[in-house]
Amino acid sequence: MARSGNSKDNRDLGTALALLWDETEAPTRGPKPSLTPRRIAEAAVSLADSDGLDAVTMTKVAGLFKLSAMALYRYVPGKAELVELMIEAILAERPDLSVAGDDWQSQITEWARRSWDVHQAHPWLVTATAMRRQAMGPHQLGWMDAALASLEQTGLPPADQHQIFLLVAGLVRNLAQQRLDYDEEHDQEWNRLNGELLARHAHRFPALTRAIVGGAFEPAGDPLGFGLARLLDGVQALITRQQAG
Amino acid sequence: MARSGNSKDNRDLGTALALLWDETEAPTRGPKPSLTPRRIAEAAVSLADSDGLDAVTMTKVAGLFKLSAMALYRYVPGKAELVELMIEAILAERPDLSVAGDDWQSQITEWARRSWDVHQAHPWLVTATAMRRQAMGPHQLGWMDAALASLEQTGLPPADQHQIFLLVAGLVRNLAQQRLDYDEEHDQEWNRLNGELLARHAHRFPALTRAIVGGAFEPAGDPLGFGLARLLDGVQALITRQQAG
DNA sequence: CTCGATTTCTATACGGTATAAACAGTTCCG
DNA sequence: CGGAACTGTTTATACCGTATAGAAATCGAG
């Protein structure tokens, strides 16, 4: 624990933010750099897309440019910052929510679907964002801004809008996480072993057993749609109540 | 990638499940084991509670017993299984939801608050569950059973009950994750740097800027209560609609 | 144009990690 | 009682991120 803000941490944070905002000034002297932080991040993204986040090591990323691992440290302070740049890279295009309609429900739904698409295209994203350091770059803020712009139409207090944004973003993140769990384990043998154990201890888990025989664990059709519908209904109820009160 | 179910994986899965369910038969010959998987997991939990999940290394855990790291492998197949046992250990007591009332709303709220308490007491839990391998042990299933038992009162289809459980569990998990992010970064210097960057690019993030001046990012009072209220309102709307249709 | 300052990139090394393999010592069963 | 089974240690391997030192390359100033 005990990670207070000493001066070294703060300097690291400053350079990390400068990197995310692309505010690093290029030097004039010396050999021309053969890379940029952005190109490195893109290479790391392609590596993660094909081989998973664990395959993103300094050595392997540098290898894509036929460079030594340490060469990367001329462009990026460390691996944590590289992962941040990877996240920023795949959020490059800010979502245009107006295509879905003018009401906030359609727009926030569109936002969720776009975010879901990104998570599907880059399954490592959920793991990468779990490594925290919540230093958001401009692309990440752009996505946030798009969602908040839609939620302004709700007429709710700004703090509520923010909370709702977090709920929607969290909903997508959770589904992406669940999909990670699911794809990894869901094979014949796992079902057999788990089913056998559960059947043997069925008396300890009566509701769970009933849920299983009721088909509650059959693959769901549209989990994102379901969760989103519940959530937006709840928000609508809040709006109605506020307008009444 | 390419982690299909070959025989070695399946055997590992079998022993991992046997471990979680405490179905390992004790050997008769040889020296008495000085440890048990459970005691190892408890030691690892105390280590993670005080020093974080990164401090849970085989060497450090073994050191708590004044043993070598390799000794642990007599009790636990590997680190992944140890983390699973840690999760199982902190979920030992199944929550009694009847204390909160008889209606499903009170009970599922109680479930969420208990789950939140566990996440508060063991902040590494959210990171540990992110390491996936979703092989749930009896304690984890006990928590799930308690929640599903409450949701049966909704009268919704079992598949919907399951989805709602996932939404509630995900809500708590997300808040725990957000708290991790927040505590780590939220110091004076970070606010200064980030605020300066954002002010300079305010025109790119109009809604976000409005939200900030509107106080949307002031620390929220009861995020769990807010999210839960939205979600349960949404579920109630579904029930009403179903009863009507 | 030349030379020193500056920068890139490499090589090497260090302290970590998980864990495989061989081995020594202990205990019980046949 | 002797060998099989089991516990724990030692040693070794293959990674990881990254600190440090130095070689090679390039530009700006004189």
pLDDT in tens, A53-64: 999 999 999 999
State the burial class of residue A153 (Cβ atoms within 10 Å of its Cβ: 0-12, 13-18, 19+).
middle
Any B CB within 8 A of A181 CB: yes
> d(Cα A45, Cα A82) in Å, to the nearest integer?
10
Per-residue pLDDT reduced to its tens digit, A84-109: 999 999 999 999 999 999 999 999 99
What are the tens digits of pLDDT across the range A11-47? 578 888 999 999 888 888 888 999 999 999 999 999 9
User: Smallest CA–C1' separation from A82: which nucleotide?
Assistant: D17
- What is the secondary structure of B7-72 as a DSSP string? HHHHHHHHHHHHHHTT-PPPPSSSSPPS--HHHHHHHHHHHHHHH-GGG--HHHHHHHTT--GGGG
User: What value does the mean pLDDT of chain A take?
Assistant: 91
CA atoms within a 13 Å half-sphere pointing along the CA-CB vector of B75: 22
Q: Measured between CB atoms, does B226 come within 8 Å of chain A?
A: yes
User: Which pLDDT score, from 0 to 100, does residue A4 have?
Assistant: 33
Q: What is the pLDDT of residues B155-180, one digit of tens each?
A: 999 999 999 999 999 999 999 999 98
Q: Is the CB of A238 less than 8 angstroms away from the CB of B233?
A: yes
Q: Is residue A229 less than 8 Å (CB to CB) from chain B?
A: yes
Whether B131 shows a pLDDT value over 80: the answer reads: yes
Whole-prediction pTM: 0.94
CB contact under 8 A, B216 and A161: yes
Q: What DSSP line would sit under B139-155, residue for residue?
A: HHHHHHHHHHHHHGGG-
HSE value, Cβ hemisphere, 13 Å, CA-based, for A202: 9
For residue B236, the chain A residues in CB contact (below 8 A) are 237
The overall average pLDDT reported for chain B is 92
* Tokens describing residue B87: 């999760």
pLDDT of residue A186: 63
- What is the distance, to the nearest Å, from the Cα of residue B99 to the centroid of all Cα atoms in its chain? 23
What per-residue confidence (pLDDT) applies to A185? Answer: 59
Whether any strand D atom is under 7 angstroms from the Cβ of A29: the reply reads yes
Q: What local confidence, expressed as pLDDT, does residue B207 receive?
A: 98
What is the rounded CA–CA span in Å between residue B40 and residue B60? 11
Q: Do A233 and B238 touch (CB under 8 A)?
A: yes
Report all structural domains of chain B as residue ranges with CATH numbers, in order of start.
Answer: 13-90 (1.10.10.60), 97-182+215-244 (1.10.357.10)
Helix/strand/coil (H/E/C) assignment for every residue in chain A: CCCCCCHHHHHHHHHHHHHHCCCCCCCCCCCCCCCCHHHHHHHHHHHHHHHCHHHCCHHHHHHCCCCCHHHHHHCCCCHHHHHHHHHHHHCCCCCCHHHHCCCHHHHHHHHHHHHHHHHHHCCCHHHHHHCCCCCCCHHHHHHHHHHHHHHHHHCCCHHHHHHHHHHHHHHHHHHHHHHHHHHHHCCHHHHHHHHHHHHHCHHHCHHHHHHHHCCCCCCCCCHHHHHHHHHHHHHHHHHHHHHHC
> Cα–Cα–Cα angle for B180, B185, B187, nearest 5°?
130
**A231 versus A184: which is more confidently predicted?**
A231
Give the pLDDT confidence score for residue B2 in this predicted structure.
33
The answer to whether residue A127 neighbours chain B at the CB level (below 8 Å) is yes
For residue B184, pLDDT beyond 70: no
| Predicted confidence (pLDDT) per residue in B107-127, tens digit | 999 999 999 999 999 999 999
At A96-142, the pLDDT tens digits run 999 999 999 999 999 999 999 999 999 999 999 998 777 899 999 99
Q: Are residues A193 and B14, on separate chains, in Cβ contact within 8 Å? A: yes
pLDDT at B129 over 80: yes
- The set of residues, in sequence order, having a beta carbon less than 8 Å from that of B97 and lying 6+ positions away, is B106, B107, B108, B110, B111, B146, B149, B150
Per-residue pLDDT of A142-174, as tens digits, reads 999 999 999 999 999 999 999 999 999 999 999
Contacts of B218 in chain A (CB under 8 A): 159
Residue B5: pLDDT band with limits 50, 70, 90: very low
- Nearest by CB to residue B177, choosing from A130, A148, A226, is A130
- Residue B27 is predicted with a pLDDT of 87
Q: What is the pLDDT of residue B4?
A: 34
Give the model's pLDDT for residue B244: 86
